[in-house]
Amino acid sequence: MAKSGSRKRGPTKKAAPKTAGRATPPQKGAGQPAAGRSTPSQKSSGQPTAGRATPPQKASGQPTAGRTTSAQKSSGQPTAGRTSPSAESRTSAGGTGATVVAERPRPGPRPQRPTPASRNAARQVVPTAPSVLAWAATVGAVLLGTIAFTNEKTWFFGPRATVLMVLAALGLPTLALRAWRSTLAWPARAAIAFLVVAAVSAALSPVPWIGFFGVEEFGTGWLFLLCLAALWALGSELGDSGATLLGRGLVVLGLLNAGATVLEVGSRGWSPLGTFVAHFPGMLFGQGQPTGFADNPVFGVQVMVGGLALLAWRTEERNPWTWWAMTALTGAGVYLSGERFGLIVVVALLVWVLFVRKVRPAITFALAAVGGVVVGVVFEQLVKTVATTQFRSLTTQGGNGLIGPRLRIWNASLHAVAAHPIIGGGPSQADSSTLPYRSTVSVIRDGLFIDVHNFIVEIAVTTGLLGLALFLAWLVPALRSSRGPLLLYAVVVLAGGLIEPFNITSTSLAFLALGAAAVGAVSAVRSDPSPSMGQLPDWTDIAANVTRGVLVVAALFAGIHLMVGNTQLKSGLDNVDPVTLAAASGHLPMWSDAPGAVADTLTYLGTRQKKATYIEAAVKWNQIALSRNPRDAQSLTRLGLDQSILGNVSAAKEALDRSLVYGPDYLRTYIYQISVALQPGDTASAIHWAQKTHRLFNVKKMVPVITCLQQHNGPQFTKAEVDAACSGLLAKVPQG
């Protein structure tokens, strides 16, 4: 009998011939249950299960099986090998002798389930060079943030919109393939559904041209939203090496903007440098705040802090001198841009490095980035710039505050969403959607916002709650499926979009980087062995490349058309040439700016040369502008002026009243109201508009006009006497 507490063993196996090496667990014999498992008969009878066999333990002084001792090496004795599974199986089935019992294996770490990222990493054993598509995306990203033509009206919009459309043409086929079958299928499908809702919203909006193409010089309509989705898909096609290349390009772009900012500040203390910078394409010299290669300091600093985020990702305890130089230059540029958002991001990145890279790398990053900021402060004092880096205080008062105007526009946005909750008021029409819910004083003090300065609120206002839901269904999974430094870049730049408008440069670069940071979308699904994902047919490669070629040609044609129109627009304005401006209107049929410029030029020439035919032609061109955008306040104001010159007082007053509905912050409209009221001799109405103008705009030169009108208000004064006494004073009032 077995001793008390001893464990019964299973059926005894005959001893097998001793095989040098490690003993393997006994294998199943013919009709014999495996060791350590119970058969149904054992379970029913209560027979104990055989335990697992253990390998023989090391004896005292006995060499370990399977290893060669020094004595064996010297004597030439063969090394003991491992027992083959087949030999052990045969021994277990019919051998004789003692049973070899295997030791229970020691518990080890549990194997982790392979993820799509690990499968992709396992497949990509040998790093590949960046593809042609990756090079095109990287070069396009740098051009998108720097290119400018001085012979174009805005310098920036035409060439950068062209680059954006070319990049979008490269990414649109990928967007379709991602939505078909890929690890990013659902976010891609949500993006396409969002674009469908936005297109319906644009078509049903009060101004469909603006809904699809956006406001001129901003271009953030439906076409811009399409470009964002295409750039995100393009980024997901670049692969690991392409994403690395893109990251380097974005660092270079941040350095270029930082260097341009430093040059612009330095040129104010050294006139020869100022002459050079003033004629450098892409740098708006003398704007009060340095803009770098952007059209606005807020967008320039977004590009710089994005590059700084990529440098923060590279922070180690020891860094090469190039990293120190790039980080310090970017930090100096961020400070000299005069934007508080940039300094907030520097602090946030420092905290991020502290938590992710620990203390020593955080100290290193602080010495480089904050050191660069200190250098910027010293440099500012050396060149004695006053207006360049005067930081606006965090206050709720005034149009220059950070919080107050945004809170007011966001409050109006809530009312706009409630008024059009399903599909919104149309892309790029947030200004007209929120205007009915803003007071005239607020509009004049804070400005007429083209954008609501928060891209989430902007989407809700312009495409409704349905559009917002689909947009988040695209953006949130895209963020969750992304990793690495480009995700940090996208998050930092998009954080700027929470307090600033959409921009065709910085916002587009953020979505391109977000796509490149996507996990599981580096390679096409055709190389993914997962059967649940399916496979793309081989012909999709050819179809995608052919489609890219066709779309790139179309994008270049549209971009050249746009740049030609903007060039003609600038030339016509500089030379006061209505013929050239009319040609520009033909190249830019989607916007009212060009026909409005024709009307303005004809009004100027007609007034100066006293030709009524010019004024009549100006009326027609104003009507063309209003046919493209019925809510163009400036065209309505020009129309009111032209009608008043022609003597059509009622038509002039109607146009001016409509202008104040869509543009209550346009000072010139109020002054024209005074002139139109004086034409039929309505002095009381003229006094009303003069007092209202002074109260809203605080125009000091309006006080003598009000006094004059009050002194000549009565039946004893004729219209000619009032005009002779007060018209000269009214002409001295600045029209804004």
In a domain, residue 670? The reply is: yes
Q: Which two tokens stand for residue 291?
A: 């803009």
- Residue 717 covered by a domain: yes
Helices and strands (H, E) in the chain, number of each type: 32, 0
Mean pLDDT, residues 143-163 taken together: 87
Q: What is the pLDDT of residues 340-349, one digit of tens each?
A: 899 999 999 9
Instruction: Enumerate residues 6+ apart whose C-beta is below 8 A from 634.
Output: 596, 659, 663, 666
- Of 660, 689, 715, the last residue of a domain is 660
Q: What CATH code is carried by the domain that includes residue 629?
A: 1.25.40.10
Decide if pLDDT at 259 tops 50: yes
Residue with tokens 């959607």: 433
* 3-state percent breakdown (helix, strand, coil) of the chain, nearest 5: 60, 0, 35
Q: Can you give the pLDDT at residue 281?
A: 61
- Which of 645, 660, 675 finishes a domain? 660
Highest mean pLDDT among 291-305, 345-359, 463-477: 463-477
HSE-up (13 A, CA, CB side) for residue 13: 29
3 state DSSP class of 76? coil
In a domain, 726, yes or no: yes
Q: pLDDT tens digit string along 449-477?
A: 889 999 999 999 999 999 999 999 999 99
Distance CA 692, CA 677 (A): 14
Tell me if 329 sits within 8 A of 255, measured CB to CB. yes
610 and 629 share one domain: yes
Q: Is the pTM of this model over 0.85?
A: no
Q: What is the DSSP letter of 121?
A: H
- Domain-embedded: residue 617: yes
Q: Give Cα separations from 469 to 183, 291, 315, 391 (angstroms).
A: 21, 34, 37, 37
| H/E segment holding residue 8 | none
- The Cα–Cα gap between 685 and 695 comes to 15
DSSP codes joined into one string, 445-503: HH---SS-S-HHHHHHHHHHHHHHHHHHHHHHHHHHTB-SHHHHHHHHHHHHTTTS---
Residues 638 and 685 in one domain: no
Model pLDDT, residue 380 = 83
Contact 507, 497 (CB under 8 A): yes
User: For residues 287 and 18, what is the distance between their CA atoms, to the nearest angstrom?
Assistant: 92
Residues 591-603 pLDDT 10s: 999 999 999 999 9
Residue 609 belongs to some domain of the structure: yes
- CB hemisphere CA count around 668 (13 angstroms): 12
State how far the Cα of 667 lies from the Cα of 114, in Å rounded to an integer: 66
540 in Cβ contact with 525 (< 8 Å): no
DSSP 390: -
Q: Are residues 732 and 677 in the same domain?
A: yes
Quote the tokens at residue 397. Answer: 């008062």
Where does residue 386 rank: exposed (0-12), middle (13-18), buried (19+ CB within 10 A)?
exposed
Cα distance between residue 569 and residue 562, in whole Å: 11
Last-in-domain residue among 607, 628, 660: 660
Question: Distance of alpha carbon 205 from its chain centroid, rounded?
Answer: 25
The proportion of the chain whose per-residue pLDDT surpasses 70, expressed as a percent, equals 75
Average pLDDT, stretch 302-312?
Answer: 97
Q: Residue 698 domain-assigned?
A: yes
Instruction: Judge if 677 and 723 occupy the same domain.
Output: yes
Pair 385, 265: CB distance under 8 Å: yes
Q: Are 558 and 165 in contact (CB under 8 A)?
A: yes
* Cα–Cα–Cα angle for 376, 380, 384, rounded to 5 degrees: 175
Same domain, 653 and 704: no
Name the least confident of 20-29, 132-141, 165-174, 215-224: 20-29
- The whole-angstrom separation of Cα 585 and Cα 260 is 34
Please determine, for residue 147, whether its predicted confidence score (pLDDT) is greater than 70. Answer: yes
CA distance 455 to 471: 11
Per DSSP, 105 falls in state P
At 648 the pLDDT is 95
Cβ atoms of 342 and 304 within 8 Å: the answer is yes
Residue 286 token pair: 């003398």
Q: Is the pLDDT of residue 242 over 80?
A: yes
Helix axis angle for 506-516 and 485-496, nearest 10°, is 150
Residue with tokens 């002026």: 641
Closest by CA position to 459, among listed 474, 479, 439:
474
H helix intervals, 290-339? 297-313, 321-336
Boundaries of domain holding 612: 592-660
pLDDT grade for 402, boundaries at 50, 70 and 90: low
Q: Are residues 610 and 644 in the same domain?
A: yes
693 and 727: one domain? yes
Phi, psi angles (nearest 5°) of residue 482: -110, 150
Residues 6+ apart with CB under 8 A from 592: 625, 626, 628, 629, 632, 635
627 and 652, same structural domain?
yes
67: region left, alpha or beta (phi > 0 left; psi from -120 to 50 alpha): beta
Q: Is residue 252 part of a domain?
A: no
- pLDDT (0 to 100) of residue 118: 53
- Alpha-carbon gap, residue 312 to 345, rounded angstroms: 11
pLDDT in tens, 499-521: 999 999 999 999 999 999 986 44
If asked whether residues 635 and 651 sit together in one domain, one would say yes
Contact 536, 525 (CB under 8 A): yes
Q: Which of the pair, 99 or 504, is modelled with greater confidence?
A: 504
Average pLDDT over residues 305-328: 94
Q: Which long-range contacts (CB under 8 A, 24 or more apart) does 690-699 make?
A: 693/667, 696/440, 696/441, 696/444, 696/670, 697/444, 697/667, 697/670, 697/736, 699/667, 699/733, 699/734
Percent of the chain with pLDDT over 90: 62
Predicted pLDDT at 496 = 94
Distances (CA, A) of 710 to 17, 68, 686, 717, 731: 126, 117, 10, 11, 17
Domain count for the chain: 2
> Do residues 670 and 654 share a domain?
no
In DSSP terms, 518 is beta-bridged to: 482
Residue 26 has a pLDDT of 44
Would you state the torsion angle of the CA atoms of residues 477, 480, 486, 491, taken in this order, to the nearest 10 degrees?
80
Looking at the domain assignment, is residue 140 inside a domain?
A: no
Indicate whether 636 and 689 sit together in one domain: no
**Phi, psi (rounded to 5 degrees) for 518:** -65, 140
Residue 17: burial class (beta carbons within 10 Å; 0-12, 13-18, 19+) = exposed
What are the pLDDT digits (tens) for 10-48? Answer: 444 444 444 444 444 444 444 444 444 444 444 444 444
Based on its alpha-carbon atoms, the radius of gyration of the chain, rounded to whole angstroms, reads 37
pLDDT bracket for residue 384 (50, 70, 90): low
Long-range pairs, 48-53, Cβ under 8 A, ≥24? 48/7, 48/8, 48/10, 49/10, 50/9, 50/10, 50/11, 51/7, 51/9, 51/10, 51/101, 52/25, 52/101, 52/102, 52/103, 52/104, 53/23, 53/25, 53/26, 53/99, 53/100, 53/101, 53/102, 53/103
Q: What is the mean pLDDT of the chain?
A: 82
Is 69 a residue whose pLDDT tops 60?
Answer: no
Among residues 413, 502, 503, 505, the alpha carbon closest in space to that of 465 is found at 413
Q: What is the DSSP string of 503-521?
A: -TTHHHHHHHHHHHTBSS-
Residues pairing with 482 in the sheet: 518
Asked whether 311 and 251 are in contact (CB, 8 A), the reply is: yes
Q: What local confidence, expressed as pLDDT, does residue 538 receive?
A: 84
pLDDT category at 5 given cuts 50, 70, 90 is: very low
What pLDDT does 272 receive? 61
- Predicted confidence at residue 291, as pLDDT, reads 84
- 216 has pLDDT over 80: yes
Average pLDDT (468-488) is: 96
Residue 605 CB burial class (10 angstroms; 0-12, 13-18, ≥19): middle
